[in-house]
Amino acid sequence: MKNSHTGKNLIKMTAVLCASSMVLGGCGLFSGEEEKPSVSIVRESMADDYNVVNCERRDVVLTSTVSCSYTQLMEENLAFPVGDKTVAYVYVNEGDEVKEGDLLAKLDVEQLEKDNISMQEEIEKNEFLIKQTDEMIDFYEKKINSASLSLSSKESYLSKLQKLREKRRNYTDQNEFDQIKISANEQQIAAGSLYAGMDGNISFIKNNLQGSNANAQEKVITILNASVCGFQTNDRNAVDYIHVGDRVSVDISTTDTSYDATVTVVDKDAYKIVYELDQPDYSIQMGTRGKVTVVRGEAKNVLSLPVSCVFRTDDFAYVYILNDDGVREMRKVTIGLIGDDYVEITGGISETDTVILRQS
């Protein structure tokens, strides 16, 4: 509502001032009285240029809006963890349906498999030789402990026993080395096979994958589960104030519809945020654009003023009020939450003060 100060008041005030000047001018100053500097006060009629309001109690809300798009959310990107090997087999094509655990592709690990077979055979052979050697060691130990054994025979048996124990140690060391190598090869063989980690459809296969040289950690196959969809945002700023579990509203302007959703993923490295709808709507087309409104702050039932009333500097905030004489006066205030439309006022003015809105 506009606050009105009529032109009549200003005219009367001007007339009084003129009359006073005439009286003082006619009479002059009292004898010995020096002229003092004067300050001219200009009273402005604010009615024509400004609206005025009072502090009111209300909820102050700060929101932010970010763009999003409808997409398939359940995705698995597969890569070989090792490189410098040829992709020998690719067992699927784009569009194929796969189940969790299905073998999708395999590196050329044939030589590693052959090496392991050869080393395993060597281990079994050495185990047999170790068993034979243990029998011979047991035989000579018993001979050495025989009371009827001559000194020369005992020395001969001791020499043979030493050689047998050295052979046994060599067989054992070789087997331990082969076991370590087999284990390392098995890890590479396992890493050379890609298996589906979930049910879905193959949405991507690297061009000419079979026969190519694999690079470690390079994406070669992607699986999508089309039954799990939702909205997604990629925004480097939004990931700092949107959190998993936040409740949001997703608005679709093209269909004039709104959906309640929950934040389920906030990936700060990829700047990715995922919102899953509380009630899925499978009629939404992939790629549909929307806006997500997020409440970043809220102060309930607090004294507040419209944002356009409050001015801020680096050091303080202030408003303009109308005093009892209708004069505009600057007043410092302390503020709390700055919302979308209103500012929380924590001190400096009361509900009875008349505050000036900015010029429209």
Strand, coil or helix: 63: strand
Q: Is residue 153 part of a domain?
A: yes
d(C-alpha 172, C-alpha 233), whole Å: 60
* 182, 214: one domain: no
What is the per-residue pLDDT for 359?
Answer: 60
Strand ranges (E), the chain? 52-53, 56-79, 85-90, 97-98, 103-107, 193-195, 200-205, 213-214, 219-234, 247-252, 257-267, 272-277, 289-306, 311-312, 317-322, 328-338, 342-347, 354-356
d(C-alpha 259, C-alpha 238), whole Å: 19
- β-sheet bridge partners, residue 247: 262
* 182, 215: one domain: no
Q: Is residue 187 part of a domain?
A: yes
Question: Tokens standing for 12?
Answer: 């009367």
* 211, 186: one domain: no
* 185, 210: one domain: no
What is the per-residue pLDDT for 25?
Answer: 42
> What is the dihedral angle through the alpha carbons of 14, 18, 23, 25, rounded to the nearest 10 degrees?
140
Q: Is residue 15 part of a domain?
A: no
Q: Is residue 20 part of a domain?
A: no
Tell me, what amino acid is at 149?
Answer: L
Domain of 217, CATH number, reads: 2.40.30
Total count of domains within the chain: 2
Q: Is residue 82 part of a domain?
A: no
* 141, 207: one domain: no
What is the per-residue pLDDT for 324?
Answer: 84
Tens digits of pLDDT across the chain (360 residues): 444 343 434 334 444 333 444 433 443 333 344 443 333 333 444 444 678 999 999 999 999 899 999 987 778 899 998 888 899 999 999 989 999 999 999 999 999 999 999 999 999 999 999 999 999 999 988 888 887 778 888 888 899 999 999 999 999 999 999 999 999 999 988 888 999 998 888 889 999 999 999 888 899 999 887 667 889 999 999 999 999 999 898 999 888 999 999 999 999 988 999 999 988 787 788 889 999 988 888 999 999 999 999 999 999 999 999 888 888 899 999 999 999 999 999 999 999 899 998 764
d(C-alpha 330, C-alpha 2), whole Å: 19
Q: Is residue 237 part of a domain?
A: yes
d(C-alpha 47, C-alpha 154), whole Å: 128
Helix axes 110-144, 151-191, angle to 10 degrees: 160
What is the per-residue pLDDT for 325?
Answer: 85
Question: Tokens standing for 205?
Answer: 């296969």
Q: Is residue 139 part of a domain?
A: yes
Full domain range(s) for residue 186: 110-191
What is the per-residue pLDDT for 290?
Answer: 95
Q: Is residue 342 part of a domain?
A: no
